[in-house]
Amino acid sequence: MIEEMRLRDLGVIADATLPMGPGFTAITGETGAGKTMVVTGLGLLMGQRADSGTVRSGASQAVVEGVWNVPSAGAVADRVHDAGGDLEPAGDERGELYLSRTIAAEGRSRAAVGGRSAPAGVLVDLASLLVAVHGQTDQLRLKSQVAQRDALDRFGGDRVRDALAVYRTAYEEWTTTDRELGKLVAERDARADEAERLRAALSEIEAVAPEEGEDTRLAERAERLANAEQLRESALVAREALSSEEGTADVSALLGDAARALDRAADPALEQIGSQIADLSYRASDLAVELSSYLADLDEQGPQELAAVEERRAAIADLVRAHGSLDEALALLETGSARLAELDDDGERVTRLANRRDAARTELDAAAERLSAERRSAAESLGARVTDELHALAMPDATLVVEVTSGAESAHGHDEISFLLAPHPGAAPRPVAKGASGGELSRVMLAIEVVVAATDPVPTFIFDEVDAGIGGAAAIEVGRRLAKLAESSQVIAVTHLAQVAAFASNHLSVVKSSDGSITASSVTRLAGEAREAEMARLLSGLADSDAALSHARELLSLRAAE
């Protein structure tokens, strides 16, 4: 419920505070005074697109602030907390929610939810939980089958809601399975080609059977084999220098002579040096043995091994060219078998998916039939109740028929919903889009909201000139119905009819003033004589007309008598 709204520099309104509260609030005022700015302000708090043209001339920005009284736990509180905002405690398990919207003259817009900045999308989410707005465009929207289906589903309550939830689950399962099956069948040839290519690639890799890092090792081996003679000569010279097999002087012999010479010395210092020289002699001998082994290995390798190594390198190079690197070829060998098994399973997958799709289709058809049955039951009751409301809204001979027929399948079912209006007995029911005038459409919309609110209440209804195109007795009944709707929901109505405003429990007047250069409007709560004068103005255009004042008092007495 909206407790209060404040508008600053919005359109012609310089600064106005609108006390709302429970029940039925009527907003009246002269043409051009800024009544529509009230609805515009509410729309901004509900996340509607901001227009810099609504900023008051000469002002740098327009500000709209609203205070809502909401349950301290539930969907609204959860969304506020998700946005980082908070509710102010208001007692009795309720809280106050502060919303604001600022529109700069250059076009920027900022929103705040529960004291925290938030995207306008959060306001849109909250609007779906807090408010239902009805204006001239909404009357036109009522002509669409989508709006008519939504109204019927709301009226159907939990039974339709549950059936629709089951249907949507079945619909999602069927569409997902059908899409997956269609894709699999459409890509079957491509997948078969992929399987053939993968099978051939795995066979080539398995035939070579490469090892990780083998290409690097083979390159090193080939380099050694290609330079075998040069390596043999170098190793032979080094070994002869360390330990000659030809009997010539070598490092080992010289080190041995040096060690023996110092071993005979009687000086401890020379003995230590001699010990170190002996160690060098042993190390030289070990290195000579290693060089001999290296030379023996070179003798065994020969040209035949070089040819085998180059052949192996060529086979691995083919794999590298085909797959980018040896590591990628080895990775394909590791994962390719699983992918090949998946591709080879296409036939069985098609069968499994086809069976699953058929089962989903059966469940979907059953869910659709249940949904249609619930809608047909709700449609009969909705038509009868709305017809009763229309009789009370000065359409005593009108009948509303809610028709449910089979149509195109969608996520909402396969029903087409049509609201048909027969304005008098004997007339064939016609779609409201064709058979209802503007005034009749206003009353049909109001009748539907009154009936639907009994099963699916909305916290706040906002009506922007719902009385357009009507007057007299019909207007009185519209006011009476708005008052009835206000028994279960907050109702805010912008109206130009005294017959409607008479039934409000809270009457606000938008008053325009001008100093000759600037026009500004303010909002006043009316009571007593001030309200009677405004009612008289609405009736005749003359606030001080005795006849109009008498009529105004008579209208106000209607509400008091009920």
pLDDT in tens, 344-399: 666 677 788 899 999 999 999 999 999 999 999 999 999 999 999 888 887 888 99
The three-point CA angle 276-280-281 to 5° equals: 115
Band (438; pLDDT cuts 50, 70, 90): low
* 288 in Cβ contact with 252 (< 8 Å): yes
pLDDT at 24: 93
**DSSP state letter for 55:** B
Closest CA to 526 of 498, 485, 487, 562: 498
Pick the last residue of a domain from 344, 362, 383.
Answer: 344
* 355, amino acid identity: N
Q: Would you call 455 helix, strand, or coil by DSSP?
A: coil
- The pLDDT of residue 100 is 93
Q: What is the CATH number of the domain that holds 43?
A: 3.40.50.300
User: Nearest to residue 102, comparing CAs of 44, 57, 156?
Assistant: 44
pLDDT band of residue 506 (cuts 50, 70, 90) is very high
CB 388 within 8 A of CB 377: no
CB 478 within 8 A of CB 555: no
Residues 420/403, Cβ–Cβ less than 8 Å: yes
Least confident of 33-47, 167-181, 406-420: 33-47
Domain assignment present for 386: no
Tell me: do 212 and 333 sit in the same domain: yes
Band of residue 247 on the pLDDT scale cut at 50, 70, 90: low
Task: Classify residue 166: in a domain, yes or no.
Answer: no
**What is the structure's pLDDT at 137?**
53
Looking at 344, 379, 412, which one is the last position of a domain? 344
Final residue before a domain boundary, out of 310, 328, 344: 344
Of 256 and 378, the one with more pLDDT: 378
496 belongs to a structural domain: yes
pLDDT at 276: 87
Comparing 233 with 251, which gets the higher pLDDT?
Answer: 251
Q: How confident is the model at residue 515 (pLDDT cuts 50, 70, 90)?
A: low
Highest-scoring range by mean pLDDT, 188-192, 270-274, 499-503: 499-503
Q: What is the pLDDT of residue 383?
A: 94
Identify the pLDDT of residue 176. 94
Answer with the residue of higher pLDDT: 188 or 539. 539
Considering the domain architecture, whether residues 225 and 307 belong to the same structural domain is answered as yes
Biggest CA-to-CA distance, the chain: 151
Of 33-42, 93-102, 462-471, 481-490, where does mean pLDDT reach its minimum? 462-471
pLDDT band at 513 (very low <50, low <70, confident <90, very high): confident
Segment 522-541 shows an average pLDDT of: 88
Query: Do 205 and 90 have their domain in common?
Result: no
Cβ atoms of residues 343 and 184 within 8 Å: no
Q: What is the mean predicted confidence (pLDDT) over 104-108? A: 88
pLDDT band at 440 (very low <50, low <70, confident <90, very high): confident
Mean pLDDT of the chain: 84
Q: Decide if pLDDT at 222 tops 80.
A: no
Q: Do 222 and 320 belong together in one domain?
A: yes
Contact between 194 and 343 (Cβ < 8 Å): yes
- Looking at the 3D structure of the chain, how many domains does it have? 3
131 and 8 in one domain? yes
Q: Is residue 399 part of a domain?
A: no
SS3 at position 181: helix
Higher-confidence position of 381 and 200: 381
Same domain, 96 and 8: yes
> Do 548 and 488 share a domain, yes or no?
no
With b for 16 or more beta-carbon neighbours within 10 A and e for fewer, the 398-413 pattern comes to bbbbbbbeeeeeeebb
Does a structural domain hold residue 393? no
CA dihedral 523, 525, 529, 531 (to 10 degrees): 80
User: Stretch 414-437: mean pLDDT, rounded?
Assistant: 84
Same domain, 231 and 92: no
pLDDT at 516 over 70: no
Q: Are residues 6 and 76 in the same domain?
A: yes
What is the rounded CA–CA span in Å between residue 231 and residue 13?
Answer: 100
What interhelical angle do 346-392 and 438-453 show, nearest 10? Answer: 110
Q: What is the C-alpha to C-alpha distance for residues 524 and 365, in angstroms, rounded to an integer?
A: 58
The answer as to whether 94 is a domain residue is: yes
Tell me 90's DSSP state: E
Say if residue 76's pLDDT is above 70.
yes
* 408 belongs to a structural domain: no
Same domain, 500 and 533: no
pLDDT value of residue 518? 54
Q: If you average pLDDT over residues 338-346, what whole number do you get? A: 70
Which of 110, 47, 120, 48 has the alpha carbon at shortest distance from 83? 120
More confident residue, 454 or 418: 418
Tell me what pLDDT residue 508 has.
92
Contacts of 280 (CB under 8 A, 6+ apart): 255
Q: In this structure, is the dihedral angle defined by the CA atoms of residues 486, 2, 497 and 560, taken in order, positive or negative?
A: positive
One domain for residues 561 and 481: no
Cross-strand partners of 510: 29, 523
Percent of the chain clearing pLDDT 90 (strictly above) = 28
> Whole domain around residue 14: which residue ranges?
1-135+465-526
- Averaged pLDDT for residues 128-143: 67
Residues linked to residue 512 through DSSP beta bridges, in sequence order = 521
What the block records as the tokens of 196 is 């053939």
Rounded CA-CA distance 502/480 in Å is 9
Q: Are residues 213 and 339 in the same domain?
A: yes
Residue 283 has pLDDT above 80, yes or no: yes
Q: For helices 188-208 and 346-392, what crossing angle results, to 10°?
A: 150
More confident residue, 409 or 344: 409
Helices (H) and strands (E) in the chain, counts: 18, 16
Q: Examine residue 60 and state whether it is found in any structural domain, yes or no.
A: yes
pLDDT at site 348: 75
Mean pLDDT over 140-153 rounds to 80
Q: Is 60 exceeded by the pLDDT of residue 174?
A: yes
